[in-house]
A and B are shown apart, each in its own frame.
Chain A
Amino acid sequence: MCLAIPALVKSIEGQEAEADMGGISRRISLWLTPEVEVGDYVLIHTGYAISVLDQEEAEETLRLFEEIAEAMEQAR
């Protein structure tokens, strides 16, 4: 029930926005994330953006996974 899905913010009008969720356009509320800007990826929970996703952190995490995968491959 705490499901939240990443979506790309396309346009903002007041406290609402249009977001793209895997090709589907949805009206979302920005009441909980007034800092959102067009082009941000946000986590949507029951129609509300609850958090702005951090691209740098995501890339950093994936880099770490790549390092682990390489290290494990070498250790085989």
Chain B
Amino acid sequence: MKFSSEFRRSELAQGLISRIHRRSKTPARLMEFCGGHTVAILKHGIRQLLPPTIEMLSGPGCPVCVTANADLDKAMALARVPGVILATFGDMLKVPGSYSSLQESKAEGADVRIVYSTMDGLDIARQNPQRPVVFLGIGFETTAPTFAASVLQAEQEGIRNYYILSQHKLCPPVTRALLDSGEVKLQGIVCPGHVSAIIGSRSWEFIPRDYGIPCVVSGFEPLDILQCIDMLLTQIESGISTVEIAYRRGVCPEGNQTAQELMDQVFEPCAASWRGVGIVPQSGLRLRERYRRFDAELAFDFDPGPTKEHQGCICGEILRAVKTPRDCPLFADVCNPEHPIGPCMVSSEGSCAAYYLYEVQGSTFKVPGFPVDRLLD
């Protein structure tokens, strides 16, 4: 068992696809919350394998994309503070804030370092004891515990030059905000797999309870996603909404309790600003009082300046699942991965980048081993 290739077997996919075609009777709009799912669905050509009754919409689940310009500008301003080493995940480098990106800051002389893990951030802090190291804390519940662990480890080891800029965001509160807005009517939600590995599938129970919408937590292999859609259809057709897991090898109802405890020890919920959605109460994480000395926002004097939006970019509406990249007049024209206007075209999990890569460039539609024609009887 490798826990990957087994979940790409085409003969098993065929069974699931046939069953989905057989079962799907009424039109259903499903939203995949997570950007990782958007990429997987486009990459494996899953949309083309589904019956016309099923519409897949992308949600706000790309941490890079939902970071508001005002927050991005803080990272750029911190990178300019003399002596500061700014550590970041690679996804953030090219994301345009109001005026520039970290990549541009780096070209202008800022010490911006791309790392893979908060462990690397701690390494940099150990190797440069005279210089402050600020780690740009972007991510959902999957990532936030790794930042909590790094803060606790820094405290344990007495590392005094390690800071984080916490812009972490929480998925259930923003999902509630989207559903409360009533802007988009959904018949089912594909819940994020790795966020749920941490918070547990039970964190989504409020959705069937309060909104009557079926939820299934999915993995990221093609069979996981097909199983998830099949399970959502079963719920939709039966009229019973609940939370189920199509990724049982990695997710359980309770989630990872160690990770939840660490996250809760170090962080507390706070209001956060989401691109396109605005301020959502209790949807962000900031350091608790006891760990405030690690907070880069309090430790440094910096001025991000006034914020400004990207003209013509509809990332906000795409993140709210009310529009798709194809609705953007700039898509694939002025805005492309070489010259991105908005973050949804920069991030590897952004909807615009995924549509561009897999639909415009046409590297999918024909997925080897997925003989579509045989399935449509």
Write out the residue numbers on chain A whose beta carbons fall within 8 Å of the beta carbon of B34.
2
Interchain CB contact under 8 A, A68 and B15:
yes
Give B169 Cβ to nearest chain A Cβ, in Å. 11
Expressed in whole angstroms, the Cα–Cα distance for A70 and B142 within the complex equals 36
For B19, give its contact among A27, A31, A41, A68 (CB under 8 Å).
A68
For B248, give its contact among A29, A41, A60 (CB under 8 Å).
A60
Chain B's closest residue to A51 (CB) is B197
Write out the residue numbers on chain A whose beta carbons fall within 8 Å of the beta carbon of B19.
68, 71-72
For B192, give its contact among A2, A72, A73 (CB under 8 Å).
A2
Mark each residue of chain B from 221 to 237: 1 if its CB lies under 8 Å from any CB of chain A, else 0: 00100010010000000
For A69, give its contact among B11, B35, B138 (CB under 8 Å).
B11
Interchain CB contact under 8 A, B12 and A4:
no
Expressed in whole angstroms, the Cα–Cα distance for A1 and B195 within the complex equals 10
A54 within 8 A of B: yes
Chain A's closest residue to B226 (CB) is A65
Q: A32-B146, A47-B119, A50-B198 are in contact. Are A73 and B249 (CB under 8 A)?
A: no
Mark each residue of chain B from 3 to 39: 1 if its CB lies under 8 Å from any CB of chain A, else 0: 1101101011011101100100000000000111000
List which A21-76 residues lie within 8 A (CB) of chain B.
27, 29, 31-35, 41, 43, 45-48, 50-51, 53-55, 57-62, 65-66, 68-73, 75-76
B149 within 8 A of A: yes
Expressed in whole angstroms, the Cα–Cα distance for A35 and B259 within the complex equals 12
Interchain CB contact under 8 A, B4 and A46:
no
Expressed in whole angstroms, the Cα–Cα distance for A3 and B142 within the complex equals 9
For A1, give its contact among B1, B12, B89, B227 (CB under 8 Å).
B89
Write out the residue numbers on chain B whose beta carbons fall within 8 Å of the beta carbon of A51.
197-198, 250-251, 256
Q: For the complex, would chain B's binding face be called helix, strand, loop or mixed by DSSP majority?
A: helix
Interchain CB contact under 8 A, A45 and B3:
no
Write out the residue numbers on chain B whose beta carbons fall within 8 Å of the beta carbon of A4.
142, 193-194, 197, 250
B336 within 8 A of A: no
Q: For the complex, would chain A's binding face be called helix, strand, loop or mixed by DSSP majority?
A: mixed
Expressed in whole angstroms, the Cα–Cα distance for A45 and B14 within the complex equals 30
Question: What class of interface size applies to chain B in its complex with A?
Answer: 35 or more
Q: A47-B120, A72-B15 are in contact. Are A3 and B194 (CB under 8 A)?
A: yes
Expressed in whole angstroms, the Cα–Cα distance for A41 and B9 within the complex equals 20
Expressed in whole angstroms, the Cα–Cα distance for A58 and B6 within the complex equals 9
Mark each residue of chain B from 254 to 271: 1 if its CB lies under 8 Å from any CB of chain A, else 0: 001011001000000000
B132 within 8 A of A: no
Interchain CB contact under 8 A, A72 and B248:
no
Interchain CB contact under 8 A, B145 and A50:
yes
For A47, give its contact among B2, B117, B192 (CB under 8 Å).
B117
List 20 contacting pairs A-B, 8 Å CB cutoff, sorted by A.
A1-B138, A1-B140, A2-B194, A4-B250, A31-B262, A45-B143, A47-B119, A47-B146, A51-B198, A55-B1, A58-B6, A58-B248, A62-B7, A68-B12, A69-B11, A69-B16, A72-B14, A72-B15, A75-B22, A76-B18
Beyond A32-B256, A66-B15, A75-B22, 9 additional pairs, beta carbon < 8 A? A2-B34, A29-B117, A31-B258, A32-B149, A45-B194, A46-B89, A50-B259, A51-B251, A58-B249
